[in-house]
Amino acid sequence: MASSSREIAVDMSPFFRLFTDGTIDRLPPPFKVPTSDRPGATVRSRDVEIDRETGLSVRIFAPGHPAPPQKLPLVVYIHGGAFCMGSASAAAFHTFISTVVEKGHVIAVSVNYRLAPENPLPIPFDDSWTAFQWIAAHAGGIGADSWLNKYADFRRVFIGGESAGATIANDVAIRAGVSGRFDGVEILGLFFVHPFFGNKEEDKLYQTLCPTSSGRDDDPRLNPAVDPRIGKMAGRRVIFFVAEKDFFRDGGRNYYEGLKRSAWTGEVEIMESEGEGHCFHLFNPCTDKAAAITDRLVAFLNTA
């Protein structure tokens, strides 16, 4: 009876409902994919806990062949889910990054940050920054994880994600650039797939999760082009993926244009999927348009 009396703050059915008392109902039962390191697997995966106190972990994806002729580009991947849903083991995210690893011949680390509202913003941002620092500590080949020491080329690092994950990835790139303290790590590119960036209208979900934010494009996390630190953002190139019918399309395009005008001096490109909505490639990964996103991203990782 208690749950029926709660007042809904944000209704994102059929995905989740956020209540004014700070609780959430995640509506679909989560389907999680187990890790696999079996012989002959196209892509291998393993989970690694990096902070016992908070439970922060990552899922590492590596190509199936045990000894590549040279070290591989490293992708730091941050999953979406409106800061409220998903995990590195969720089927949609696991499958997407596995495909990128297979097609792109890269190694990837998917960050399993803690979810809001149980872990209020900016905890997902801070968790992802902690994870990046743990990853970067392997640049000298003496880190705690044998796969990263063996496979990863830290001179070819990429950071990105989709939806809320893109927002977090951008924050990590700014922090990395401002800190300037990662010897042996070179961030070549950033990728934002259907990013959760703001515009002039208040985003009620974000404002509820982060009451100190306006929920609009004057918040540097929702519109990093207004962040005074933007000129120091890590990365030489950024690629945006937007979709014509995505409710976040304008926010992504606005940041694309703002980044070109900002003090950051890298290269920016954009790809738009006509007639499609938010993160369609995760829900329908077998379509030609979904494949086009993966192929463009793989080309970016292989040329940036």
Q: Per the structure block, which two tokens stand in for 193? A: 């797939």
Catalytic residue among 127, 203, 217, 246: 246
Separation CA 289–CA 128 (nearest Å)? 29
Query: Exposed, middle or buried, 35 (CB in 10 Å: 0-12/13-18/19+)?
Result: middle
Compute φ and ψ for 292, nearest 5 degrees.
Answer: -65, -35
Judge whether 278 counts as a catalytic residue: yes
- CA–CA separation, 109 and 241 (whole Å): 20
Q: Does 246 participate in catalysis according to the annotation?
A: yes
Q: Is residue 213 flagged as an active site residue? A: no
Catalytic residue among 110, 128, 163, 262: 163
- Torsional sign, CA 264, 265, 267, 270: positive
**Rounded to whole angstroms, how far apart are CA atoms 76 and 59?**
10
The catalytically annotated residue of 94, 194, 278, 281 is: 278
Residues belonging to the active site: 163, 246, 278
